[in-house]
């Protein structure tokens, strides 16, 4: 695995991202754990789920319900496993979902 | 029941500081976050913008599987090295039916036999499963003395199951066989301790 990481670093060394990865690897050389070395290279941005949509806080539940169902139909998503952001005059104030 | 003519302002949840994670939080830190905070998910904040949400289910996507698999195959490699230190004795520590399985696989893989018709021990050891290698290590006194975490048979079996689950996934990407929220971090800590102790043992026997 050390070899694998080294190869990755060389192949990316000319890019900004590659330099960042190299920096992260160098920083983490104190850890012998393969798990930690890899897990430090992945951020929550890589695995998080996008919000279904953004709704104005004054929107009626009936309207949101319909739009929610339509969006999930279009995208083949499970309606129960979605979260949407609620805004008030473009300011995020909360969330809605079944979770 | 919802009142469909009300606004969503009446049924939304407020965002609390404890439910927010920065977008540059590492996978490792998010695992410990799920262990310490009881909420169902985190909202991911990048700069001043929420870009998505993270549930425990998201942790089981390919990146975590890759990390876990990397750790588990490294453990299996170390256990193989332990078993090969005295391979003839090692085979005696395996149940007969498991040895027979390894011999059957040896033939399926069409490995050669020695001039006297015996198995090449290193090739035969490669035909054993991870759980066989655990059994060998657990039944070798000198190994258990330096690698006491091997005594946790439950986690040894879990490691074997997880390795097979990731190596041979079913139709579902996010399998229910992966550790649950309460047991993931303790399992990782156990596996990392095992990795350290096996490393120390191997360095000791290599002289």
Kindly state whether residue B93 falls inside one of the protein's structural domains: yes
Q: Decide: A96 and A83 in contact? Cβ < 8 Å.
A: yes
The two beta strands, A54-56 and B20-22, are: unpaired
- Residue B123 and residue B50 in one domain: no
- Residue B46 and residue B90 in one domain: no
Kindly state whether residue B143 falls inside one of the protein's structural domains: yes
Domain boundaries, chain A: 2-43, 54-97
Q: Which residues lie across from A56 on neighbouring strands?
A: A87
Look up the CATH number of the domain holding residue B24.
Answer: 3.90.1280
- Domain hosting B67: range is 62-206
> Which residues of B17-135 form beta strands (DSSP E)?
20-22, 41-46, 49-55
Tens of pLDDT along B34-76? 988 888 999 999 999 999 999 999 998 999 999 999 999 999 9
Interface test with B, best of A37, A43, A51, A94 (most B CBs within 10 A): A43
pLDDT at position B172 is: 54
Give residue ranges of A with CB < 8 Å to any B CB.
Answer: 1, 32-36, 38-51, 55, 57-62, 64-65, 83, 85-86, 88, 92-96, 99
Q: How far is B185 from chain A (nearest CA, A)?
A: 12
Mean pLDDT for back-to-back runs of 10 residues, chain A (99 residues): 37 42 46 80 96 96 95 96 95 91
Q: Which DSSP category does B54 fall into?
A: E
- Residue B67 and residue B44 in one domain: no
- Residue B69 and residue B55 in one domain: no
Kindly state whether residue B2 falls inside one of the protein's structural domains: no
pLDDT at position A33 is: 81
- CB neighbours of residue B203 within 10 Å: 9
Angle between helix axes B181-206 and B153-167 (nearest 10 degrees) is 100
The two beta strands, A54-56 and A83-88, are: parallel
Tell me what ipTM this predicted complex has.
Answer: 0.77
Q: Tell me which of B59, B77, B102 is where a domain ends.
A: B59
- CB neighbours of residue B1 within 10 Å: 3
Q: How far is B59 from chain A (nearest CA, A)?
A: 7
Q: Count of A–B CB contacts within 8 Å?
A: 144
Residues of A in contact with B20 (CB under 8 A): none
Which of B82, B183, B57 has the alpha carbon at shortest distance from B142? B82
When the pLDDT of each residue in chain B is averaged and rounded to a whole number, the result is 92
Q: Do B195 and A50 touch (CB under 8 A)?
A: no
B26 → chain A, closest CA residue: A43
Kindly state whether residue B3 falls inside one of the protein's structural domains: no
Q: Do B8 and A96 touch (CB under 8 A)?
A: yes
Lowest mean pLDDT among B14-28, B67-81, B112-126, B157-171: B157-171
Distance CA B83, CA B85 (A): 5
Q: Do B199 and A93 touch (CB under 8 A)?
A: no
Kindly state whether residue B16 falls inside one of the protein's structural domains: yes
Residues of A in contact with B28 (CB under 8 A): 35-36, 39-40
């Amino acid at each position: 695995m050390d070899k694998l990481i080294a190869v990755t670093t060389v192949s990316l060394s000319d890019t900004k991202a590659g330099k960042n990865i190299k920096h992260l690897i160098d920083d983490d050389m104190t850890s012998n754990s393969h798990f930690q070395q890899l897990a430090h290279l992945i951020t929550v941005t890589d695995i998080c789920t996008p919000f279904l949509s953004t709704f104005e806080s004054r929107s009626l539940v009936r309207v949101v319900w319909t739009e929610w169902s339509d969006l999930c139909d279009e995208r083949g998503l499970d309606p129960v496993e979605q979260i949407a952001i609620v805004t008030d005059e473009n300011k995020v104030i909360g969330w809605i979902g079944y979770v | 029941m919802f009142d469909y003519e009300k606004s969503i302002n009446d049924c939304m949840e407020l965002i609390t500081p404890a439910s927010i994670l920065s977008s540059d939080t590492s996978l490792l830190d998010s695992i410990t976050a799920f262990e310490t905070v009881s909420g169902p998910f985190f909202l991911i904040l990048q700069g001043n913008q929420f870009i998505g949400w993270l549930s425990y289910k998201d942790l089981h996507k390919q990146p975590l599987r890759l990390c876990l698999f990397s750790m588990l195959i490294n453990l299996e490699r170390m256990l193989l090295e332990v078993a090969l230190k005295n391979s003839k004795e090692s085979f005696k520590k395996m149940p007969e039916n498991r040895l027979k399985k390894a011999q059957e696989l040896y033939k399926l893989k069409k490995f050669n036999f020695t001039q006297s018709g015996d198995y090449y021990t290193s090739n035969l050891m490669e035909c054993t499963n991870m759980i066989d290698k655990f059994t060998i290590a657990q039944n070798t006194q000198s190994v258990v003395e330096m690698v006491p975490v091997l005594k946790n048979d439950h986690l040894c079996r879990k490691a074997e199951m997880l390795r097979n689950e990731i190596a041979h996934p079913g139709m579902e990407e996010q399998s229910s066989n992966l550790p649950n929220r309460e047991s993931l971090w303790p399992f990782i800590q156990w596996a990392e301790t095992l990795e350290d102790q096996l490393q120390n043992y191997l360095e000791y026997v290599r002289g």
